[in-house]
């Protein structure tokens, strides 16, 4: 029986910075920091791929960003423009697949049904979705796509490669495929939860994956722990 996935998750790469580049084509290929406000030493709300490679990230202030990335260009965030691009992206995606749920301005998921669940077909749809955004919105707007049997696995898969990655996660390649990730790189595990896991003798993703579901309940202090673990394993 062919491998099957039921969720396609897409994550726009460096969304706010990509919108700034789309609005000003002269910024394409240059390091860009998008600021929370147009004020001295304001913090970055986002950074372009080139700026990220120099160590600029969300929360980095202008002075530090200039030290990390000489030549970086700053622009204040324009929320109304970003919302306009968000809707344009949704329209482009829906030429390929219906959007099932919007998780944030730059993250959405699509439900795969029937033959679309077959992994080769799902990968083709992922590539078509990425191309539709480039062609119908702007070449600056790249997205990473993840496929999986659960939203959690699809989201983790989308984060494995940026920009423009296309990856899938299924139980037959787990936990090895994500063993290198830090615990708090998994969506839903905060720094505080990571510390609780470490204190409980769970130092890494393979150890988390091997937990007894009841033990996960105890560590989380609720059924949320068991639900998280089962979704990580690809269970509904």
Which residues are the active-site residues?
107
Q: Which two tokens stand for residue 153?
A: 């696995």
| H-helix or E-strand spanning residue 228 | helix 223-232
Q: Which two tokens stand for residue 160?
A: 């494995």
Report how far Cα 7 is from the mean position of its chain's Cα atoms: 14
- Determine contact, residues 147/168, Cβ cutoff 8 Å: yes
The span from the CA of 19 to the CA of 10, in Å, is: 17
Q: Which of 15, 9, 11 is closest to 140 using CA atoms?
A: 15
* Furthest-apart CA atoms within the chain: distance in Å: 59
84 Cβ contact list (under 8 Å, min separation 6): none
Please state, as a whole number, how many other Cβ atoms lie within 10 Å of the Cβ of residue 66.
Answer: 16
């Amino acid at each position: 029986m062919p491998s099957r996935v039921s969720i396609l998750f897409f994550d726009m790469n460096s969304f706010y910075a990509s919108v700034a580049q789309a609005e000003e084509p002269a910024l394409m290929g240059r390091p860009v920091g998008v600021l929370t406000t147009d004020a001295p030493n304001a913090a970055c709300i986002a950074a372009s791929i080139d700026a990220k490679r120099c160590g600029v990230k969300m929360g980095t202030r202008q002075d530090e960003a200039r030290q990390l990335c000489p030549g970086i260009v700053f622009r204040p965030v324009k929320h109304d423009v970003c919302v306009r691009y968000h809707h344009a992206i949704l329209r482009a995606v829906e030429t390929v697949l219906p959007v099932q749920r919007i998780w944030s301005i730059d993250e959405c998921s699509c439900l795969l049904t029937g033959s679309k669940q077959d992994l080769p077909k799902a990968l083709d749809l992922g590539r078509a979705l990425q191309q539709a955004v480039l062609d119908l919105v702007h070449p600056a707007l790249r997205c990473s796509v993840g496929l999986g049997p659960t939203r959690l696995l699809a989201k983790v898969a989308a984060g494995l490669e940026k920009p423009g990655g296309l990856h899938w996660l299924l139980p037959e390649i787990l936990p090895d495929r994500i063993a290198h990730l830090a615990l708090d790189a998994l969506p839903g595990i905060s720094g505080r939860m990571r510390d609780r896991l470490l204190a409980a003798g769970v130092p890494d993703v393979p150890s988390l994956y091997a937990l007894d579901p009841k033990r996960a309940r105890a560590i989380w202090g609720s059924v949320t722990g068991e639900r998280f673990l089962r979704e990580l394993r690809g269970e509904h």
